[in-house]
Each structure stands twice: as C-alpha cells, then as structure tokens.
C-alpha cells in the first residue's frame, strides 16, 4: 500500500472517461511539436500500469487493514484507497468553447501528466529530485518553448493555449509544471527582445530543454519593490559590463544553463535597469545552498551570486534601461501560468476529495451525503471554475494585447492562487486524518500551492497593481 500510495493515481480526464485503442497512428501538428499518437499510446500504457497499482493497493489494504478488523475499519480502508485513486470531476471542456487545436493540446498535456508526472511526483518531492530528463520529454512535445517562434524550434502557441497546457500538467506535478512556466518566461523574453544572434544561440536549446533557463529578478533586499534592486552592471571600456550583486529564491539555480538577470546600469528606479543573459560556468557566477522549502521540492531554489562577472555587450537583452519593462512583461505571462497551475492542482484535490467522501462511511451512510460536505464541495467547485475562467480570460487579453491585459493578469493571479489554495485546504479537511498523511497527495498539493500566493508578485502587490491599472484605464 505504501509504495502504490506514493505514486499519484492521476484522476481520469474530466472529458475523457476511458482509453480507446488506437488502430492507426494519428499525428497532429501542434506547431510542429506535439505528437498526438505518441502521447495517446503512452497514456494507454499508463492507464494499464495505474490499474495494476490500484489492484495491488487493494490487496495490501485488505491484508493490512481488514485482517481481524471490524466493518468500520474496512470502510476506512476503502475510503483511504479511494483517496489515493480519485475519479473524474464533473466538468468538460465544452464549457469553455475550446478550439479543436486547444482540445488536442489539453489532451496531450493530460496524457503526459498522467504518464510522466503523476506516478513519480511524490517520490520527487520526498527525495528533492529535479526531474531534468522528464523535462526533456516535455520538450519533445513542444512544452520547452510554448510561445517561442517556430523558426528557432518553438511551438508558436498563444498564452491561452499555454494556460490550458499548464493546468493539465499541474494536475500531475505542480512544481514541475511551475518550473516549465519559469523556463518558458526566459525563452519568451529572448524570443521577443533578443537579437538574431541571441535567438539563434539560445532558443533552439531552450526549446529542446537541452538548455534550462532561470529568471533572476528578486534580491535579498528587493522583493516586492523590484525596482529598488541593487545588483549593478558597470559598463567598461570596450562595451563589456561587469556585474556584481546577488539574487534570491531563483528556481533552477545551480542547475540551469541560462540566467536572465536584471541589473542596474543607470540611476535609481525602473528606468535604470537592464537585462542580461548569463551562462552557467561564467567566472564569478556562483550559487548558494539549495534552500529547504515547505513545497516545490521537485525543483531547486538557490541564491545566485555575481562577483565581477564580465558580460559581453552582445549578451545584453534589449536596450539599456529596458530591463524592468522586459521583467514586467515576462511576469504578466508568468502570473497567468501560475494561476493555471493553481487551478490544475486544486482540481486534482477536488476530484480526490469527492471520491473519498463517496467511499467514506460514517453514521450509516457516505459522508458525501452530509449537507456540510455538499456545501463545501459546491464552494470548492465554484472557486475552481471561477479561477479557471479568470485565468483564461486574462490569457486571451494578453494574446490580444489588450490595454487591460496587465490588470486582467493581476486579477486572475490574485484570485486564482488564493482561491485554489483554499480548495486544497478544504480537500484536506474532507479527508480528515488521511489528508494529513504523506501517503496521500493532498498535503503535498497544499504545500506546493501555498507559494503561488507569494511568487510572481505577492497577492498584496497584485492588489496594488490592480488599483494602479484601474487608475490608468479609468482616471478620475
């Protein structure tokens, strides 16, 4: 039971309830990247493996919990097994009018999450393992350069397409999906602001995830007030820059190959900040210890130290003084992605809790029939649906380059991350003692989603941005 319980039993798709045999290969072009037949075949294999795991879990539960026990103990064992193997949720993608392409993107991401992420995510969390090889498999499907142009190996997708994908990936493993978001932020910034040399040098490797990218804005003394950053970039004779300073809480630190670093080239304030591309191995570039964190244990987080790091002018991204603009543009997309990851994690927890409450018997019936449970589940489902709609609306606004896009992204991030974290807490409460055990996934999703209310701008900062953008759009 222990071995199987640690392997996340991924809920069946909300829209695909069974595995249909494939009689002929079917390849769809997701901007030349996503191989649909491969993902479907992997999914079928995954379903068979997970089915065997469930049977094994049932056998062990029967031996360990039911031997010589009462009917009540048997019911508890059944409910515990259900919690480790939830059934599908009630929603379908027809509710969102997804295009045929978007439905296919979602399906491929769901199959990848089911086969490559969910069975291993608990082990990665426990062992603090960064699954680089799995990330490369994700890149084979186009997930390493989702909105990178096709001419340099990207998938050429939109922000709404990516939000749909990130939601599904997060159902399998939240921190792995979140690292993909950060990596894609770096790749997208290079694609949008980089020179032809920079694009050709870095983007093919980032799209294939032979190169991993990290985003370096936050500093020990400059968190929410990012424009006050102190890392300096002094221009030398000949045009090179020498960077000095430190960055904090950098996902992928010490492992990633390319670091997008914001540093001060001018006066105080946002207009004095420029962006630079640094490579692992540069003289003077070093990394702190791997931080011990509450969640997100499947990706490393370290400080990044810069001690007289000499960077050629050709590795400055954009013009001098463009760094803060580049950083904020990247964060608009990152906020959508982290909101989508929250939705995916919360959906998994809701599906798990609903299955558990159906199986758990107390006071002569399933606890799913209690009015308190009904009300809680209804509120959880409503929160997830509202979050999903806000995230997708914000993604569509960013795709359309709407004047309200920054406002929409901040609203969606603030609402979705708070609401979905609350859903994980409610799911844990519904599972009772089982929810508190590491044998079952709810506590891990709760730990992983907690940081979403902090990163990509805290939710308190989101409220400031919302007010600022309202004043821009409707000045009084």
Question: Quick check: is 456 catalytic?
Answer: yes
Length of the chain: 476
Alpha helix positions (H), 209-361: 323-359
**DSSP 8-state assignment for residue 116:** I
Q: Give CA angle at 78 (77, 84), nearest 5°.
A: 90
**DSSP 8-state assignment for residue 148:** S
For residue 227, CA distances in Å to 67, 213, 262, 321, 322 come to: 63, 22, 10, 12, 12
The H-or-E segment that residue 302 falls in is strand 301-311
Of the candidates 381, 380, 411, the one whose C-alpha atom is nearest the C-alpha of residue 393 is: 411
- How many helices and strands in the chain, by DSSP H and E? 15, 10
β-strand partners of 361:
366
Rounded distance, CA 402 to CA 96, Å?
Answer: 20
Task: Choose the catalytic residue: 408, 443, 456, 469.
Answer: 456
Question: Of all residues in the chain, what percent are helix, strand and coil, respectively (each to 5)?
Answer: 55, 10, 30
Confirm if 424 and 349 have CB atoms less than 8 A apart: yes
Instruction: Give the dihedral sign, CA 202/250/408/403.
Output: negative
The distance between the two most distant Cα atoms of the chain, rounded to a whole number of Å, is 82
What is the residue-wise DSSP string for 159-223? HHHHHHHHHHHHHH-HHHHHHHHHHHHHHHHHHHH--HHHHHHHHHHHHHTSS-EEEE--BTTBS
The H-or-E segment that residue 285 falls in is strand 285-287
Phi-psi region of 267 (alpha: psi -120 to 50; beta: other; left: phi over 0): beta
For residue 134, CA distances in Å to 116, 173, 209, 216, 298 come to: 7, 11, 10, 23, 12
In whole angstroms, what separates CA 56 from the centre of its chain? 31
Instruction: Kindly list the catalytic residues.
Output: 456
């Amino acid at each position: 039971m222990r071995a199987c319980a640690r392997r996340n039993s991924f809920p069946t798709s909300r829209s695909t309830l069974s595995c249909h045999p494939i009689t002929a290969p079917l390849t769809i072009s997701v901007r030349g990247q996503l191989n649909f037949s491969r993902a479907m075949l992997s999914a079928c294999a995954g379903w068979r493996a997970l089915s065997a795991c469930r049977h094994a879990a049932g056998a062990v539960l029967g031996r360990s919990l039911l031997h010589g026990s009462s009917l009540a103990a048997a019911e508890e064992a059944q409910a515990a097994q259900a919690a480790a193997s939830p059934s599908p949720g009630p929603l379908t993608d027809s509710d969102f009018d997804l295009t045929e392409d978007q439905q296919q993107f979602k399906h491929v991401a769901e199959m990848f999450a089911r086969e490559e992420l969910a069975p291993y995510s608990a082990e990665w969390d426990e062992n603090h393992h960064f699954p680089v090889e799995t990330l490369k498999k994700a890149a084979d499907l186009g997930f390493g350069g989702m909105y990178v142009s096709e001419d340099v190996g990207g998938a050429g997708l939109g922000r709404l397409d990516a939000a749909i994908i990130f939601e599904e990936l997060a159902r399998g493993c939240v921190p792995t999906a979140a690292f993909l978001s950060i990596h894609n932020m770096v790749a997208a910034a290079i694609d949008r602001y980089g020179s032809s040399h920079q694009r050709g040098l870095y983007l093919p490797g980032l799209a294939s995830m032979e190169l991993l990218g990290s985003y370096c804005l936050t500093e020990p003394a400059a968190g929410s007030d990012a424009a006050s950053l102190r890392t300096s970039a002094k221009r030398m004779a000949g045009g090179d820059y020498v960077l000095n300073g430190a960055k904090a809480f950098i996902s992928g630190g010490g492992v990633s190959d390319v670091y997008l670093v914001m540093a001060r080239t001018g006066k105080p304030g946002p207009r004095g900040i420029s962006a630079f591309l640094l490579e692992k191995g540069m003289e003077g570039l070093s990394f702190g210890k791997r931080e011990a964190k509450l969640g997100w244990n499947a990706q490393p987080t370290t400080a990044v130290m810069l001690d007289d790091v000499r960077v050629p002018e050709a590795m400055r991204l954009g013009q001098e003084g463009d760094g803060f603009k580049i950083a904020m543009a990247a964060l608009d997309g990152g906020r959508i992605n982290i909101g989508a990851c929250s939705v995916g994690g919360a959906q998994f927890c809701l599906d798990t809790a609903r299955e558990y409450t159906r199986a758990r018997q107390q006071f002569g019936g399933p606890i799913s029939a209690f009015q308190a449970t009904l009300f809680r589940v209804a509120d959880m489902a409503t929160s997830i649906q509202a979050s999903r709609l806000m995230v997708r609306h914000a993604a569509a606004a960013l795709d359309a380059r709407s004047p309200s896009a920054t406002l929409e992204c901040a609203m969606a991030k603030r609402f979705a991350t708070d609401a979905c974290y609350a859903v994980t807490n409610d799911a844990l409460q519904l599972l009772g003692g089982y929810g508190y055990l590491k044998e079952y996934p709810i506590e891990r999703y709760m730990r992983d989603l907690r940081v979403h209310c902090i990163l990509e701008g805290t939710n308190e900062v989101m409220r400031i941005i919302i007010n600022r953008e309202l004043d821009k759009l409707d000045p009084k």
